[in-house]
Amino acid sequence: MTSRRPLLVLRAAAALLAALSLLATLRTGVEARPTALAFGVLVAVGELIRWSGGPGPREAAPLGAAGALSYALVGEHAGQPTHHGVAQVVSVVAAAALLGSVPHVARGQGPVLDHLVRRVLAAGFTAVCFQPLYHRGFFDGWSGPAYALLLLALLVMTVLCDAVVAAALAHSRTGWPFGPLLRDELRAVPGIGSAVCATGAVMALAVAVVGLWALPVFSVPLLLTQLSLRRCAAVRATYRQTIASLARATEIAGYTPAGHAHRVAALGQAVGRDLGLPEAELTVLEYASLMHDIGQLSLVDPVPAGATADLPAAEQRRIALLGGAVVRQTGASAQVAAVVERQADPYLEQPAAARIVRVVNAYEEKVRDAGPGGPLTALEELRLGTGGEYAPEVVEALARVLGDQGGGAPGVPPGVQPWGSPGQAAGGRRAGLSDPAQGWVTHG
């Protein structure tokens, strides 16, 4: 079962840090109010325009992140030393992030609470590492490039810690393996993470020299980057919708039962996460699962109920090759086409995604019309076929996923019906297409 302890601990830590900081700020008063207001507005605007629907960048509000981290690193304003401390940094960032998130909460878009947890903890970590040492004169001997590199180093440490927090939150919320989640978060750091670090450091340095006018000037590049990312995300969302529509072609033509492709995609992604596939391979797996039966459109006489798992091996391969040819015509990547083409090959010759598609498709076909004992019977048939047809590690991962479902998986979207549990198994994952807030699409 999924442990929610890390989720509760991180949320409690963020809430406690924000509450104590707010109390301390109210008791001592706000230092340098124009500076606090300017950075608060910047963070609030960044949160207000953050990406909140459909697949998008991992850092949904790069401008808000850069503004929060920059304020934590401000030691001077136009040549004059500042005197705000850790408590004021956390209070301003928490209040501004919360204010900017109000419209997203009202529309019910995205995991806003976890986003706020990450923002508060990241700003608090940076401020703790910088503000006390700066005000005590530890950085007085640092100047020029050395000081800039110091700020960049602090921001890189913050981004890495934030990746760990993000992976822990996702692991507790979804039950997916922590290792692959952390790996995917770290892989995103050189992209938008590097832009956030660079902008945050430049903002802090510029404010120290020219004052608050630096904020709007250095916000423009990050705003343009965010706009480009949103356009790319919109293109990916349209592409996913096209793939989902193609997946329904076999259902509309009567070759496969309604919802079959989406059930295979949902359960296949859960199995892929259990096996620790990286995000890029999970995307390939999703597309290939949705289009794995498209080769049946070339058949003159449909296979009864679309059950290709019981066909002769030669016929399975012929349908798979025809499906791969169709997929290539859709403009999908060569990896997706290769998975569709090789889903009927001996498992030792298949890539990981093709192994998963084959096992999950066979399970869905075998269990479709079975009675209460159907899941167990189907799973046993798959285990008997691990000698040459089905990859043993994939079958066992499927058993773990089904064991964790316990008769129902809350992560499965409407219209995707999971099947019952084959028995108790440890360490599995829920079946379901990924959460849109994590950069994945849900097909209904």
Q: Give the CA dihedral 41, 45, 48, 51, nearest 10 degrees.
A: -140
Judged by DSSP in three states, 81 sits in strand
Judged by DSSP in three states, 76 sits in strand
Supply φ then ψ for residue 76, to 5 degrees.
Answer: -140, 155
Sort strands 76-77 and 80-81 into parallel, antiparallel or unpaired: antiparallel
**Spatial distance between the Cα atoms of 444 and 402, rounded to a whole number of angstroms:** 21
> Do 177 and 276 contact (CB within 8 A), yes or no?
yes
Supply φ then ψ for residue 80, to 5 degrees.
Answer: -105, 135
**Spatial distance between the Cα atoms of 114 and 137, rounded to a whole number of angstroms:** 35
Q: 189, 186, 200: which is closest to 150 by C-alpha?
A: 200
**Spatial distance between the Cα atoms of 197 and 355, rounded to a whole number of angstroms:** 40
Please determine, for residue 375, whether its predicted confidence score (pLDDT) is greater than 50.
yes
Residue-level pLDDT at 260: 87
51-56: average pLDDT? 55
Q: What is the pLDDT of residues 71-109, one digit of tens each?
A: 999 988 888 888 899 999 999 999 999 999 888 888 876
Point out the least confidently predicted range of 211-215, 246-250, 306-310, 411-415: 411-415
242-258: average pLDDT? 83
Higher pLDDT, 311 or 355: 355
Residue appearing with tokens 């440490």: 157
Cβ atoms within 10 A of the Cβ of 128, count?
16
Quick one: CATH architecture of 248-438?
Orthogonal Bundle (1.10)
**Spatial distance between the Cα atoms of 147 and 123, rounded to a whole number of angstroms:** 19
Residue appearing with tokens 């601990």: 9
Global pTM reads 0.74
- The rounded mean pLDDT for the chain is 81
**Spatial distance between the Cα atoms of 414 and 404, rounded to a whole number of angstroms:** 19
Q: 361, 340, 360, 343: which is closest to 274 by C-alpha?
A: 360
Residue-level pLDDT at 126: 94
**Spatial distance between the Cα atoms of 169 and 118, rounded to a whole number of angstroms:** 9
**Spatial distance between the Cα atoms of 367 and 392, rounded to a whole number of angstroms:** 18
In this structure, which amino acid lies at residue 302?
A: P
Judged by DSSP in three states, 435 sits in coil
- Percent over 70 (pLDDT), the chain: 86
Please determine, for residue 280, whether its predicted confidence score (pLDDT) is greater than 50.
yes
Which of 39-43, 274-278, 403-407 has the highest average model confidence (pLDDT)? 39-43
